[in-house]
Chain A
Amino acid sequence: EQLQTQNLSIPPGAHIDYTFPQLFFYKPNLWWPNGMGKQSLYNVAITVEVKGYGESDSWSHQFGFRQIGSTIDNATGGRLFKVNGQPIFIRGGNWILSDGLLRLSKKRYQTDIKFHADMNFNMIRCWGGGLAERPEFYHYCDIYGLLVWQEFWITGDCDGRGDPVSNPNGPLDHDLFLICARDTVKLLRNHPSLALWVGGNEQTPPDDINKALKNDLKLHPYFESLNELSSTF
């Protein structure tokens, strides 16, 4: 579909960000959730070659073209989702983790997630008291068309409620929470199944964490202005 090469000089010891010129696709096969269409995936491979050395590093990923949006419905208070402009009736399953001893094999993930798809679900919600799920989990959600609602590690019971009442300002180290959150986002953000980040379970994180998460996860202004369809979400 696309092959593009760019040349670049990187100073000694430098750590830089580089953005490729945008790649154009005419009517690509879109990625759809389970029951709405195919889960079309494109392989994106990026390679860096260094003059006089040859291939230096490479990366590849299964990428799906899809646009997911959601809003709170004023009439019902429920969250309405659209995928690729089409409203979707969410049929979801709650997920904590695959195994309490964290024996998280690919085969186990595949079996569990295919089972959700076979049940005609189209979303899995990863509960805030459990894990930020692993790339292998997301891989099979990409394959089987399960949207993922991923919560960060806040629960009402451990962060503000319970008996005795727990600390609403938890965790103790807010900077550490944000370090972990930002790194988790970087680990998972390219998966087409990733639909929604949520601060926690039945509770919002402390104000400073909540504001930082909202700020870091909002749509970049470049895409806000670029994307003419964003207003439909």
Chain B
Amino acid sequence: MAELGKTELDSGWLAARSTEVDLTGIQLTTTHPPSLNSSSSPWMEAVVPGTVLGTLLKNKLIPDPFYGLENDAILDIGDSGRDYYTFWFFTTFKCAPSGNQHVDLNFRAINYSAEVYLNGHKKILPKGMFRRHSLDITDILHPDGQNLLAVLVHPPDHPGNIPPKGGQGGDHEIGKDVAAQYVEGWDWMTPIRDRNTGIWDEVSIYVTGPVKIADPHLVSSFFDNYERVYLHATIELENRNDWVAECSLIIHVTTELVENACLV
């Protein structure tokens, strides 16, 4: 039985430029998982969460873009094309849910779109830098062994070109996408060469029982000059089984009076 709750996948990631990998996502997550064994391997240690540039910098494949004028030495996506900054990310994890447990693979944000492969199964993550993605992976897990996860991350659709003299938001093409716009450069910032492509926020697996809580909403209302206050809590609940779930919902509000002592 797996422990309930969240486990972050923030270590052990590998990455490689997509144009240097001949294997498919299905092969990477079944018969040919990548490794760092060979010096000619295109794979490198990856920064997740982070961006492609962050990974390249970690591996000393680019100079530090924020030191001196070294950003000028990094190839801009407007010149290289999107494929140059389209990267594979790969990791493994273990998770052994019991019969009534469910497991989600959660991405809190990706820039800009992605294909996810887990143990040979493919899922598409839609576009948008500022959205969460949650995949129910219960039925495709290998409960007794390693789970192989590969993510092919595509840059924004309209990374744009940087005019010779720079300018506010470069050629403005990035404004066509739902993504951070500063990445084409501004009066305070040089252009970000990969446009912040990457798995830039938390990745996790999340284990629940038959019923899952989602997106709680807490609101307070105030009366009598803040003497009388009410807390209103709404939650979404999902029963993922084919039987009626008889549930007890418990809400518990505590405040810390002094260190480690709470009034209930």
Does B45 count as interface, using CB distance less than 8 angstroms?
Answer: no
Query: Given the interface contacts A18-B237, A171-B175, A176-B127, does A47 sit within 8 Å of B252 by beta carbon?
Result: yes
Does B208 count as interface, using CB distance less than 8 angstroms?
Answer: yes
Query: Given the interface contacts A50-B210, A63-B218, does A12 sit within 8 Å of B251 by beta carbon?
Result: no
A170 near B180 with CB under 8 A, answer no
Query: Which bucket holds chain B's interface residue count?
Result: 35 or more
Query: Given the interface contacts A7-B247, A159-B175, A179-B128, does A58 sit within 8 Å of B4 by beta carbon?
Result: yes
| A100 CA to B232 CA, complexed, in Å | 38
B226 near A1 with CB under 8 A, answer no
Does A155 count as interface, using CB distance less than 8 angstroms?
Answer: yes
Q: What does the 1/0 interface line of A29-49 toward B look like (CB < 8 Å)? A: 110000000001111111111
| A24 CA to B208 CA, complexed, in Å | 30
Does B169 count as interface, using CB distance less than 8 angstroms?
Answer: yes
Q: How far is the CB of A9 from chain B (nearest CB, A)?
A: 6
| A153 CA to B179 CA, complexed, in Å | 7
Does A73 count as interface, using CB distance less than 8 angstroms?
Answer: no
Question: Which residue of B172, B222, B244 is within 8 Å of A9 (Cβ)?
Answer: B244
Count of A-B contacts judged by CB separation below 8 Å:
324
Query: Given the interface contacts A14-B238, A102-B196, A189-B217, does A96 sit within 8 Å of B246 by beta carbon?
Result: no
Does A70 count as interface, using CB distance less than 8 angstroms?
Answer: no
CB neighbours of A227 from chain B (8 A):
221-223
Q: How far is the CB of B70 from chain A (nearest CB, A)?
A: 13
Does B49 count as interface, using CB distance less than 8 angstroms?
Answer: yes
Does B144 count as interface, using CB distance less than 8 angstroms?
Answer: no
A173 near B230 with CB under 8 A, answer no
User: Which of B22-30, B51-59, B117-125 touches A?
Assistant: B51-59
Residues of B164-206 whose CB lies within 8 A of A: 167-169, 172, 174-182, 184, 186, 188-189, 192, 196, 198, 200-201
Q: Which 6 residue pairs of A and B lie closest in terms of their CB atoms, listed nearest first?
A: A158-B175, A56-B209, A166-B172, A157-B168, A51-B246, A10-B239
Seen from chain B, the residues whose Cβ lies within 8 Å of a Cβ on chain A are 4-5, 47, 49-51, 53-54, 57, 65-66, 100, 108, 126-132, 167-169, 172, 174-182, 184, 186, 188-189, 192, 196, 198, 200-201, 208-213, 215-223, 225-256, 262-264
